[in-house]
């Protein structure tokens, strides 16, 4: 890998121990994956924020970086934390957990990272442009930025994203290169998709099938950004899909080479079977929306369904702090809270300790959440569309 004179100085330790250690990690990754050089990046999104995910080892790693005065060079956002950073006590998050979570946030802030905590940075003020090189790590945010926006990022690990933020560069390989963004499998969709959960089911099915390939979808007639968010998130969770193209909908679909690909067909039956497969429980104790974090449109949809109703069992909707503010102004939060629901910011069901809060069965409309909740939160899952889930809690 070609390094500039400036970059060699970093390797030689002239810019301090932290820069040397992190830059070496980037060079090592660049060498493994055949990068020719480092490229400047426009923004970063760092995963590995919840205390539940990174534990003491990750917390100590971050505090060590912060104490050595590591500072980020580009706009850097964070993945969801393990709790609502303002409302945690009221929502019942454990105190000792909160103490550790706040330690982590303090370390990030000291490094100059914007303490945002969302898996949808593109809805909260960190929006890359088409073809911009970035280093993002949350798997659904990577999928969205690559596929729906056409920005360019590999699936960064938490530490490699942090290294990129502090060094301001990333190795030039993989999805930063046009030839590596070409589709490797064609998905023919004949099923009708209407609810966001249908897109989650489709994504879950495809991710399982294609693992880390680049799918090219045909037959999806229309999809808004919430539905593409649901599709990409599920594919990145059940598989390792970092980029997909949808004919007629995503910006690179008309530019890539899509001839002669292996084909997979998905009809009504595959979607129905996936719904069944993802349902391991009945009668949820709690229903949680907002995986990935809800957009204003999704919060408005929930408010519509809860207007004037009384919930018997809890309903949460997770979102970023910024979108929560907008929903507050529109009165959506008031409607949802009056019905007995909660708007939860900064965190989500996957990274928060819901199993310690007494919940055993969770209802979700997200293919990604349905994928993670059984293993990581020891939950039985009810996977359904928003109408059925809300109906069941009334």
Partner 1 sequence: MKGRTISPGKAKGKAIVSTEPIGFYGGIDIKTGIVIEKGHPLEGKSVKDKILVFPCGKGSTVGSYVIYGIKKNGVAPAGIINKETETIVATGVILAGIACVDQVDIEKIKDGDNIFLDADNGEVKIS
Q: Which residues bind partner 1 (CB under 8 A)?
A: 25, 28-29, 32-33, 47-48, 53-58, 61, 79, 137-139, 142, 154-161, 174, 211-212, 236-240, 280, 350, 371-372, 374-376
218 with 384: CB under 8 angstroms?
no
* Peptide linkage before 131 cis (omega within 30 of 0): no
Q: Which is nearer to partner 1, 219 or 374 (CB)?
A: 374
217 with 245: CB under 8 angstroms?
yes
Smallest separation, CB 303 to partner 1 (Å): 30
Q: Which is nearer to partner 1, 154 or 393 (CB)?
A: 154
Q: Which is nearer to partner 1, 29 or 390 (CB)?
A: 29
Smallest separation, CB 175 to partner 1 (Å): 10
Q: How, if at all, do strands 169-171 and 135-136 pair?
A: unpaired
Q: Which helix (H) or strand (E) holds 344?
A: strand 342-345
56 with 198: CB under 8 angstroms?
no
Q: Which is nearer to partner 1, 19 or 296 (CB)?
A: 19
Q: Which is nearer to partner 1, 366 or 371 (CB)?
A: 371
Identify any residues that bridge with 77 across adjacent strands, giving them in sequence order: 45
Output the CA angle 152-153-157, nearest 5 degrees.
Answer: 175
User: Which residue stretches of the chain are H helix?
Assistant: 5-11, 17-32, 51-67, 88-91, 95-110, 139-144, 158-167, 196-210, 225-238, 268-278, 296-306, 321-330, 332-338, 367-376, 386-393
Q: Which is nearer to partner 1, 62 or 384 (CB)?
A: 62
Q: Which of 22, 219, 216 is nearest to 135 (CA)?
A: 22
Q: DSSP letter string over 191-241?
A: S---SHHHHHHHHHHHHHHHTT--EEEE------HHHHHHHHHHHHHHS--
Smallest separation, CB 281 to partner 1 (Å): 12
117 with 321: CB under 8 angstroms?
yes
Smallest separation, CB 32 to partner 1 (Å): 6
Q: Which is nearer to partner 1, 175 or 286 (CB)?
A: 175
Q: Which is nearer to partner 1, 53 or 279 (CB)?
A: 53
Using DSSP, state whether 87 is helix, strand or coil: coil
Identify any residues that bridge with 176 across adjacent strands, giving them in sequence order: none
Smallest separation, CB 52 to partner 1 (Å): 9
Q: Which is nearer to partner 1, 47 or 386 (CB)?
A: 47
Q: How, if at all, do strands 262-266 and 185-189 pair?
A: parallel
């Amino acid at each position: 890998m070609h390094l500039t004179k400036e970059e060699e100085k970093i390797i030689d330790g002239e810019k301090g121990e932290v820069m040397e250690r992190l830059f070496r990690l980037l060079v090592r990754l660049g060498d493994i994956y055949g990068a020719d050089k480092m490229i400047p990046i426009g923004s970063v999104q760092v995963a590995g924020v919840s205390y539940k995910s990174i534990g003491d080892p990750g917390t100590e790693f971050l505090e060590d970086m912060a104490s050595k005065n590591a500072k980020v060079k580009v706009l850097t956002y964070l993945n969801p934390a393990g709790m609502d950073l303002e409302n945690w006590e009221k929502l019942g998050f454990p105190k000792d957990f909160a103490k550790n979570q706040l330690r982590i946030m303090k370390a990030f802030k000291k490094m100059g990272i914007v303490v945002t905590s969302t898996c949808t940075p593109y809805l909260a003020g960190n929006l890359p442009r088409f073809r911009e090189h970035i280093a993002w790590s949350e798997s659904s945010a990577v999928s969205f930025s690559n596929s729906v926006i056409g920005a360019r990022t590999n699936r960064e690990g938490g530490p490699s994203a942090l290294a990129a933020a502090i060094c301001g560069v990333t190795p030039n390989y993989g999805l930063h290169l046009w030839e590596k963004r070409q589709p490797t499998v064609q998905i023919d969709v004949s099923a009708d998709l209407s609810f966001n959960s249908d897109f989650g089911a489709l994504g879950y099915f495809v991710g399982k099938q294609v693992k880390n390939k680049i799918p090219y979808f045909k037959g999806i007639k229309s999809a808004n950004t919430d539905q593409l968010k649901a599709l990409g998130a599920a594919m990145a969770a059940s598989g390792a899909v970092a980029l997909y193209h949808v004919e007629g909908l995503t910006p690179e679909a008309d530019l890539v080479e899509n001839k002669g690909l292996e084909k997979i067909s998905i009809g009504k039956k595959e979607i129905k079977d996936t719904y069944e497969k993802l349902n391991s429980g009945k009668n949820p104790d709690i229903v949680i929306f907002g995986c990935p974090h809800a957009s204003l449109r999704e919060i408005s949809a929930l408010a519509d369904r809860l207007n004037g109703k009384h919930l018997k069992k809890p309903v949460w909707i997770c979102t970023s702090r910024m979108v929560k503010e907008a929903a507050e102004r529109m009165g959506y939060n008031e409607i949802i809270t009056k019905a007995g629901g909660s708007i939860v910011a900064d965190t989500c069901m996957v990274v928060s300790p819901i199993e310690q809060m007494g919940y055993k069965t969770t209802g979700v409309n997200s293919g990604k959440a349905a994928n993670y909740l059984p293993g990581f939160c020891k939950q039985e899952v009810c996977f359904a569309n928003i109408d059925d889930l809300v109906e069941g809690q009334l």
